[in-house]
Amino acid sequence: MGEFELIRHYFAAASCAQVGEGVALGIGDDCALLDLPAGEQLAVSTDTLVSGVHFPDSADPFLLGQRALGVSVSDLAAMGATPIGFTLALTLPTAEPTWLQAFAAGLDQMARQCALSLIGGDTTRGPLSLTLTVFGRVPRGLALTRTGAQIGDLLCVGGDLGAAAGALPLVLGQRQAAAEIAEPLLARYWSPQPQLALGQALRGKATAALDISDGLLADCGHIAAASGVALMVEQARLPLSAALLALLGEDAARHCALSGGDDYRLAFTLPAEHLAELQAAGWSLHVIGRAEAGHGVQLLDHRGQCITPPARGYQHFGNPSD
């Protein structure tokens, strides 16, 4: 058995490769087979992460596995889908057992957290890169797309913003911070938490949604363009993480929240009548603006005047959509 064949057996034995709900046939044949309940649709998304482009060459393999899967599953959350499984195409220069064990453990941890199974993949020799394809299910007609925002809808996000972008100088070893500041920021970078339950709760309520990967303003631009509306973002209402404020101060923290990317929070438009209902159900939603007639994204100051958003400025690794 060759070195790469050993790796395949190694991954096939991982707990995330145990056949889960909706998986009729997992790893080991020409294809995996998935069952889909009647009345549901399959949601599919593919992301590639390249070493030196999307993560540092020296990235901790456990954290890399965790992050790679979290980032991909976030696309399922953005559609309101329930995860089923994923495939992993792993390209490696060499099969290094310590690295692989840690990588698989990180992947496994995120897979268990999000309740999805490794259903297949491919292992090849070459420069380090990962392509994950994730599969979920969503009731027919209830998937959250980017196209339905209506004039008058509230613009909301599912949690505080900017922490992952603020963590980048720490990730790259360019900056130090006290543990109580560094740890929550690094956790947001390395262990993105796909907002799966929130996405599912928004089915039939939110009119448009996506997960923030490119930065709030850029991603709101995708909703605005797809829906044919303008989105007004009120700068004063941006939720900023306490650790980020402590590290950078308010101006730079706001910059990270607007343009930094890698948040993997949901951003969505919501008819106002659903807000109280969702809040009563315990969802901590942040209303940051509204949809109006027009196009594009406008940033508003505390008097409601348009201001020019800051250019995307912090050093960053590209996110998987680059």
Angle at 162 between CA 156 and CA 165, to 5 degrees: 140
CA distances to 60, 89, 90, 122 from 129, rounded to whole Å, are 14, 8, 6, 12
Is 91 a binding residue for its own copies by CB under 8 A? The answer is: yes
End-to-end CA distance of the chain: 37
66 burial (CB, 10 Å; 0-12 / 13-18 / 19+) is buried
Is 87 a binding residue for its own copies by CB under 8 A? The answer is: yes
Is 4 a binding residue for its own copies by CB under 8 A? The answer is: yes
User: Which residue in the set 9, 13, 15, 35 belongs to the binding site for its own copies (CB under 8 A)?
Assistant: 35
Cβ at position 260, least distance to its own copies in Å: 18
User: Which residue in the set 7, 11, 16, 47 belongs to the binding site for its own copies (CB under 8 A)?
Assistant: 47
| Ligand-binding site membership of 54 (annotated) | yes
Closest CA to 231 of 304, 298, 287: 298
Other C-beta atoms closer than 10 Å to the C-beta of 156 total: 25
How far apart are the C-alpha atoms of 219 and 276, rounded to whole Å? 25
| Ligand-binding site membership of 211 (annotated) | yes
- E runs forming strands in 52-125: 82-92, 117-125
Stretch that binds its own copies, among 78-86, 149-157, 182-190, 243-251 (CB under 8 A): 78-86
Residue (158 or 166) nearer to its own copies, CB: 158
Residue (193 or 241) nearer to its own copies, CB: 193
Classified as helix, coil or strand, 311 is: coil
Cβ at position 288, least distance to its own copies in Å: 19
Is 50 a binding residue for its own copies by CB under 8 A? The answer is: yes
Closest CA to 73 of 31, 48, 33, 110: 110
Which residues are near its own copies by CB under 8 A?
A: 4, 24-25, 28-36, 38, 41-54, 75-76, 78-79, 81, 87-89, 91, 119-122, 124-127, 129, 131, 133, 135-136, 138, 140, 143, 145-147, 209-211, 226, 318, 320-322
Q: Which residues are annotated as a binding site?
A: 30, 45-47, 54, 75, 121-122, 146, 211, 213-214, 262, 314
